[in-house]
Amino acid sequence: MLKKDSYFAYFLLFISYAIFGIYHPVQKQGLDSGYTPIEFAAASMFFASILLMPFAFREYKKHKLKINKKVIYEFLLLGFLATVLAPLLKLYGLFLTSANNVALITATSGIFITIIAYLLFKEKMPNYFPPVIIFMSWGIFLFKTPSFNNFSSFGIGDLCVFSFVIVISLSTNLAKKYMIKFPSILISSARLLFGLPLLFLLYFLFFEFNITRLFSFWPILAGFLFVLRVSTYYHALKIINIKEVALFAIVSPIITFAYSFLLFGETLNLIQIVGVLIVFLGIYIHVVMKSKTKKNNLDI
């Protein structure tokens, strides 16, 4: 029987991925309003840091945490991956493709987290995993089959989003490593503290800085959603196994599809719907098989 903490963690993951589903189209609307990907990333992460830093400072003083050079270096890496590289890849992907495309591809994040954990952190991979990956790849192929919309072929935008999923999966595994020692709110803030200066440096190098561009509705809303998403996500990961996120990844694209239909008029044809269902089924098979494997006392 699951403990109460596990149920609470699952609730937080559900909330986190529901917010993530809204986060994609909000970023898309920000880009459509005239922001460049670097500009929007810097502005939204700036507001996210304002919201998070007071809580992080309070936790730092409360627990009297000791941070050595090794931790600082890894927090720098986490900041670069999660605050600079990942947002830019995703925003450039959104700039070049639809919110629906981004939502479906990012739904595979739970699978990629498992792959990264296996390759870099020596966690075991179950035997059923490769067939599930092939099955889900077929679903993504169907979703991208030429259709009546304008986003029918694999392109740079899709590659950016796939790269984003890999980078964020790596940063999630790295963050999980420190959740035993540090409060989740501190890790959420560390990725901003160590990544935001580099993001603004890129902004200053490639664009003319305009402070009025920071104070706009879409980056403020995106920063607020980011704080809610990452806080609930990291707090949940502190309680449960990192690979238990796959089922909840289904929530995000469903919300994005609904949002995109209502505000952007983006639609799915029959072939695309079949592709989406196959991807969701692949995620579901992964979760069910994982549960059966855990009952046999195998660590996946």
Answer for the pair 232, 15: CB distance below 8 angstroms, yes or no: yes
CA nearest 235: which of 52, 73, 9?
9
59-108 tens-digit pLDDT: 777 766 677 777 788 888 888 888 889 889 999 988 888 777 787 788 77
Please say if the pLDDT value at position 1 is more than 50: no
Cα–Cα distance measured from residue 64 to residue 131, given in angstroms and rounded to the nearest whole number: 47
Instruction: Record the pTM.
Output: 0.74
Per-residue pLDDT band at 24 (split at 50, 70, 90): confident
- Residue 298: per-residue pLDDT: 36
Instruction: Determine the distance from the C-alpha atom of residue 24 to the mean position of all C-alpha atoms in its chain, rounded to a whole number.
Output: 10
Answer for the pair 255, 21: CB distance below 8 angstroms, yes or no: yes
Cα–Cα distance measured from residue 173 to residue 77, given in angstroms and rounded to the nearest whole number: 12
CA nearest 28: which of 144, 161, 154?
161
Per-residue tokens: 277 = 């269902």
